[in-house]
Amino acid sequence: MPSDRDYSAKRAATLTGNTTAAQLFQTALTPAKDVQLFVPAGAKLFRIRAGGTATGGTTTNFTPTLYWGDATTTTLAALSATAYNSASGGWYAQATVAYDSVNSKLHGYTEGFIGTTPTVAANTIITDLSSITSVDGQPIAIGATFSAANAGNTATLDFFSLEVLEEKA
């Protein structure tokens, strides 16, 4: 059961990958909007979880990505590109992020699983994001990239949540 420190995003529509450009998951609501979470005020350490399924309509790699902000311009964390060659499988990404207010940076690591026969993704250090003066209310978006465009490429986002692990004293 979620605690009062857990925040979940709204239900997402299926993402279609008939492009090789990074795409954000959209809400299933009308009008559609980017699926986002917002970092609660005072968060110092938080964990983001996202997962779903992906299907390659052709020979393609799939890369789920967490973005700092509301666009595909600043990658916070991503799993490695993995083959979904005309097949379907699950994916799960988890990022643990710490806000370093002294150095105005975000530090952390990502882990998860990915693939048509899911394999564990190696824990990977998140490349520090610099010039972060505050995390309060900052949006986090979720998206994905397919390496080859095909109308049969699809991805679902079954869950997307943020858990505050530590707060400012």
**Window from 24-28, 38-42, 132-136 with minimum mean pLDDT:** 24-28
The single residue listed with the structure tokens 């559609």 is 32
Length of the chain: 169
CA distances from 10 to 57, 112, 149, 161 (A): 26, 22, 27, 10
Question: What domains can you pick out in the chain, each with its CATH number?
Answer: 6-167 (2.60.120)
pTM of the model: 0.91
Q: What is the pLDDT of residues 128-160, one digit of tens each?
A: 999 999 999 999 999 999 999 999 999 999 999
**What pLDDT is attached to residue 12?**
85
Gap between the Cα atoms of 133 and 4, Å rounded: 25
Q: What is the pLDDT of residues 59-72, one digit of tens each?
A: 999 999 999 999 99
